[in-house]
Amino acid sequence: MSYIPKTGRRDFIKKSTQAATLIAALATPTTAIEVLKMQEQNENRVNGKKKIAIVGTGSRGSQTWGRDLIRQLNDKVELVGLCDINFTRAEFAKTLIDTQAPVYAAKDFALMLKETNPDYVIVTTTDCFHSQYVVEALEMGCDAICEKPLAIEADQCQDLLNAEVRTGKKIITTFNVRHMAMAEEIKRVVASGELGKVISVEFQENLDIHHGADYFRRWHGKSEFSGTLLLTKASHHFDQINWTIDSEPETVHAFGNLSYYGKNNSFRSKNCRNCSFKDSCKFYWDITKDQFMMNLYVKGEMEDGYLRDGCVWDNSIDTYDTMTVQVKYKNGVLFSYNMNAFLPYEGQKIVINGEIGRLDVSVNYNQPWEVPAENEFRLTKSFGESKTWLVSPGTGSHGGADEKLREMIFTENIPDPMGKMAGSKAGVLASLVGIAARKSIQTGGPVHISDLIDFPRTWGW
């Protein structure tokens, strides 16, 4: 792969080199006066639309934050630029979105911002590059909208917080789970007081041999790109719990194994198309049957070596498929989290134990038996009754959560009684739980979140 991984922790030499490369990429260095001029122009927009530029035009960038955003909010948003390390993919995204916005190479990211002057930069690259694009966007006078995980290393979290203070610009983290009907309902029950004070939380993330395996076919399986599933996947869940119980994680202890994918098989190949074990491998996937995948990934494969149908048995896979994480919160809540990525069915079990009751939630995504609904709720009162109800997921992508999230981001003064808008603090805290868990797995001991970075004083740490 010709990605430029950013792996070092507090590796200042490497960071300086990367910064120098990004600055060198500018055709003309941007001065503070130019940035101010760009901000002024933004304020003087004539059509009232927010100008957006997207970096990372893969699945999420081309669909959720490209085509679907423009379709949904054409009156509020104007796409002005697309940028990716892979030009073929970016050109396909341009066609998919049906836009005239120009395409820029990754090395011309700063040039794109200078020439197109966006209000927001939407960052949907591979996880390890999020922070450097967000920081540069802020430096150039834009606000940033970033996919989860906001960062995969502690020093990246620090860079993001420092950049926000330094520039006065804002980061939005796109935690769409907060907008899912199931997550809203859990938050409502907790806030209603029916459980009393929350004492502990249990969360089982069950990923099946289809969805779970898909993370091991591509960059998510390599920790230098994804930070492990503790970041690329679990940051959703860590944020959901931080938000639901309205507290901050304090100490993390975790264990993790790679027990199923990667080295755990007797045969392997580079990818499915070229495999000699097509007939015997249960994970064989013929990407050539999916024209969208062919257009988005395979057609541009020669440019960057990104194999979308990579082998799940690849020996270089180093991200855990089995994880257990314990978190102690500032408000005393104990949280127990498990993720397995190779299961025969897919869903979640979420339990909130309160002083006067327990909430059991089953989220049924894919299972070989009949379920009454996607979301089954049971509330049992101590010394009292137990009641059940069903919550339908809603329609649209991620049960309509993506639509609601986009609406909330781009509609001014939209009411947010549940506090669903997530900024840098939420993004950083969710990432830090994953980073602390990974560190705990590596060191075998507990990790204190406050030892990972210097928090802004306003956070009261």
Ligand X SMILES: NC(=O)c1ccc[n+]([C@@H]2O[C@H](COP(=O)([O-])OP(=O)(O)OC[C@H]3O[C@@H](n4cnc5c(N)ncnc54)[C@H](O)[C@@H]3O)[C@@H](O)[C@H]2O)c1
The footprint of ligand X (CB under 6 A) covers 3-4, 55-61, 84-86, 89, 106, 124-127, 129, 147-148, 174, 176, 232, 398
Give CA torsion, residues 171, 175, 176, 179, to 10 deg.
-100
Which CB sits closer to ligand X, 99 or 232? 232
**Cα separation of 279 and 35, whole Å?**
58
CB atoms near residue 213 (< 10 Å): 20
What does 22-76 look like in DSSP terms, one character per residue? HHHTSSSPPPHHHHHHHHHHHHT-SS-PEEEEEE--SHIIIIIIIIHHHHH-TTT
State the DSSP H helix or E strand holding residue 253, giving kind and residue range, or none if neither.
strand 249-257
CB of 59 to ligand X, least distance (A): 4
**Cα separation of 251 and 253, whole Å?**
7
Instruction: Indicate the residue whose CB is closest to ligand X.
Output: 58
State the DSSP H helix or E strand holding residue 262, giving kind and residue range, or none if neither.
none
CB of 258 to ligand X, least distance (A): 20
Which CB sits closer to ligand X, 72 or 251? 72
The H helix count followed by the E strand count for the chain is 17, 15
Q: Show Cβ contacts of residue 313 under 8 Å, excluding neighbours closer than 6 positions.
A: 261, 262, 263, 264, 265, 267, 268, 269, 281, 283
Q: Which of 120, 177, 147, 172 is nearest to 64 (CA)?
A: 147
Indicate the residue type of 455: F
SS3 123: strand
State how far Cα 163 lies from the chain centre: 20
**Cα separation of 230 and 246, whole Å?**
21
CB of 450 to ligand X, least distance (A): 26
Which CB sits closer to ligand X, 61 or 212? 61
CB of 424 to ligand X, least distance (A): 16
Which CB sits closer to ligand X, 147 or 321? 147
CB of 382 to ligand X, least distance (A): 36
Which CB sits closer to ligand X, 128 or 198? 128
What does 126-189 look like in DSSP terms, one character per residue? -GGGHHHHHHHHHHTT-EEEEPSPS-SSHHHHHHHHHHHHHH---EEE--GGGGSHHHHHHHHH
Q: Give the burial string for 64-75 (b: 16+ CB within 10 Å, else e).
A: bbbbbbbebbee
CB of 124 to ligand X, least distance (A): 5
Which CB sits closer to ligand X, 72 or 380? 72
Which CB sits closer to ligand X, 174 or 348? 174
Which CB sits closer to ligand X, 182 or 333? 182
CB of 84 to ligand X, least distance (A): 4
CB of 61 to ligand X, least distance (A): 6
The dihedral built from the CA positions of residue 295, 298, 301 and 302, taken in this order, carries a sign that is negative
Q: Which residue has the tokens 């069915």?
A: 345
Which CB sits closer to ligand X, 94 or 358? 94
CB of 221 to ligand X, least distance (A): 12
Which CB sits closer to ligand X, 106 or 190? 106
Which CB sits closer to ligand X, 3 or 337? 3
Quick check: 123 and 151 in contact, CB under 8 A?
Answer: no
Which CB sits closer to ligand X, 124 or 440? 124
Give me the count of residues in the chain: 461
CB atoms near residue 201 (< 10 Å): 24
CB of 247 to ligand X, least distance (A): 23
Task: List, in sequence order, every residue forming a beta bridge with 144; answer none if it has no partner.
Answer: 121, 171
